[in-house]
Amino acid sequence: MTISERHEIILNKLKDSGKVNVQDLSDELSVSEVTIRKDLRMLEDKNLLFRTHGGATLSNPYTSDRPVSEKAKVQEKEKEAIAKEAVKLIGDNDSIILASGTTVSALAREINPQHRLNVITSSLDVSLGLSGRDNIEITQLGGQLRPSSISVVGPYAEKFLDNIICGILFLGVDGIDLDYGLTTTNLMEASLNQRFIEVSQYTVALADHTKFGKRGFGRICTLNCIQHIITDEGASQSVVNELEKKGIRVTVAKL
């Protein structure tokens, strides 16, 4: 079989199902997985598909920056379910970091501690939401305001973190790719999130199922930098299995 014939078969399968798997193509076409990956790379260079972990897809895996008001209306039930699972991790007299993002804001709405809780956050939405509740001491980071996320970024926010250590970081992301790691759409936000991870003892990524297989412009970290992911029932079991093989705890929130 020629390269052109293989490529035609791959593209026809993509047209039929929207995605293909490297191992399946290797078995069907009787060539090595290395050869199939080269084929997919060539087809991606021609803008005919997008490579993903273990295969390829017709849909663009790259996510773009959108206003928080728009993102808040997407996957609302999933975000609420994730938030209800995440709040169970917060202990008495704990110190936590709440990063930015609509799923993190959903978590903030669930927090109503009976004992003292220290919260550090870059999100103005989170601070305002928590400000009227008892037993919560809020530290709002300063810096450059990102209107699309209603949160701050930049060197002032990062410098403040030099002298603190926190128990848990709850991190919102725009994409989780099994090869590339966790990403967001803004480089300065990615940098601040990296500092959050450095000063936290335990990092929990909050991500509904639509975030898997997506990539943002700025990489936050590789998967080995986090300990826990909370997602929803829409996440495929194969993705959950891959994450657990990498030593990451995965909690699937039920709707």
Render pLDDT for 240-251 as a digit per residue (tens, 0 to 9): 999 999 999 999
CA distance 132 to 136: 9
Q: Is residue 48 part of a domain?
A: yes
Residue 15, domain extent: 3-57
Q: Is residue 108 part of a domain?
A: yes
Q: What is the pLDDT of residues 199-228, one digit of tens each?
A: 999 999 999 999 998 888 899 999 999 999
Task: Quote the pLDDT of residue 217.
Answer: 85
Q: Is residue 42 part of a domain?
A: yes
Q: Is residue 63 part of a domain?
A: no
User: Is the same domain home to 86 and 139?
Assistant: yes
Task: Quote the pLDDT of residue 72.
Answer: 62
User: Is the same domain home to 33 and 89?
Assistant: no
Q: What is the pLDDT of residues 53-70, one digit of tens each?
A: 788 888 777 665 666 666
Q: Is residue 62 part of a domain?
A: no
User: Is the same domain home to 133 and 203?
Assistant: yes
What is the mean predicted confidence (pLDDT) over 176-184? Answer: 92
Q: What is the residue whose two structure tokens read 């926190």?
A: 166
pLDDT at position 196 over 80: yes
pLDDT at position 87 over 70: yes
Q: What is the pLDDT of residues 106-144, one digit of tens each?
A: 999 999 999 999 999 999 999 999 998 999 999 999 999
User: Is the same domain home to 130 and 219?
Assistant: yes
Q: Which residues of 136-153 are buried (b: 16+ CB within 10 A; e: fewer)?
A: bebebbebeebebbbbbb
Split at pLDDT 50, 70, 90, the class of 22 is very high
Q: What is the CATH number of the domain that holds 85?
A: 3.40.50.1360
Give the least confident one: 17-21, 36-40, 167-171, 193-197.
17-21
More confident residue, 49 or 229: 229
Domain count, the chain: 2
DSSP3 helix / strand / coil % (the chain, rounded to 5): 40, 25, 30
pLDDT at position 73 over 90: no
Task: Quote the pLDDT of residue 93.
Answer: 92
Split at pLDDT 50, 70, 90, the class of 39 is very high
User: Is the same domain home to 19 and 118?
Assistant: no
Q: What is the DSSP letter of 36?
A: H
User: Is the same domain home to 134 and 53?
Assistant: no
Task: Quote the pLDDT of residue 61.
Answer: 74
User: Is the same domain home to 85 and 199?
Assistant: yes
Tell me which long-range contacts 11-16 makes (C-beta under 8 A, separation of at least 24).
11/43, 11/48, 11/49, 14/49, 14/56, 14/57, 14/58, 15/58
What is the mean predicted confidence (pLDDT) over 221-237? Answer: 96
User: Is the same domain home to 74 and 53?
Assistant: no
Average pLDDT, whole number, for the chain?
A: 92
User: Is the same domain home to 43 and 92?
Assistant: no
User: Is the same domain home to 152 and 237?
Assistant: yes
Task: Quote the pLDDT of residue 68.
Answer: 63
User: Is the same domain home to 48 and 174?
Assistant: no
Q: What is the CATH number of the domain that holds 51?
A: 1.10.10.10
User: Is the same domain home to 51 and 78?
Assistant: no
